[in-house]
Amino acid sequence: MPQHAFISIPLDMPDVRVTKTAGTKTGDFILTAERRLPRPSGRRCRQTTSTRPGDDAPRDLRHLPIVGRPVSLRLRPKRFRCPYGAGNPTTTPVLDGYDAPALHPKAYAHQRFVPLVNSTIADVASTEEVRYAALLGMLDRGSAPAVDGTTVGACTTSGRDELALRKGHRNVVAIMTAQTPTGQLQVLAVVPDRVKPTVSSWLATLPTPIRDRMTTVCTARWDGDVSAVREVLPAASSGIDRFHVAGP
Return the domain boundaries, the chain.
Answer: 16-93, 108-246
pLDDT at 177 (0 to 100): 82
19 contacts 33 by C-beta, under 8 angstroms: yes
Per-residue pLDDT reduced to its tens digit, 75-110: 887 777 776 666 666 777 777 888 877 888 888 887
Query: Could you tell me if 152 and 214 are in contact, meaning their C-beta atoms sit under 8 angstroms apart?
Result: no
Mean local confidence (pLDDT), 120-124: 80
Please give the DSSP secondary-structure letter assigned to residue 5.
-
In this prediction, residue 30 has a pLDDT band, given cuts at 50, 70 and 90, of very high
pLDDT computed for residue 31 by the predictor: 92
Per residue in 129-172, pLDDT (tens digit) is: 888 888 878 877 766 655 655 566 677 888 877 776 665 545 67
pLDDT in tens, 36-67: 766 666 556 666 666 666 677 788 999 988 88
For β-strands 90-91 and 78-81, DSSP reports them as: antiparallel
C-alpha span between 50 and 247 (Å, rounded): 58
User: How far apart, in whole angstroms, are the C-alpha atoms of residue 234 and residue 126?
Assistant: 40
Peptide bond into 234 cis (omega under 30): no
Question: How far apart are alpha carbons 229 and 236 in whole angstroms?
Answer: 7
Is 28 in contact with 69 (CB distance < 8 Å)? yes
Amino acid at 231: E
d(C-alpha 189, C-alpha 206), whole Å: 11
Over residues 167-221, the pLDDT tens digits come to 554 567 778 888 877 777 777 778 877 788 888 888 888 888 888 888 888 877 6
Q: 239 pLDDT exceeds 80?
A: no
Distance of alpha carbon 238 from alpha carbon 216, whole angstroms: 6
pLDDT of residue 1 exceeding 50: no
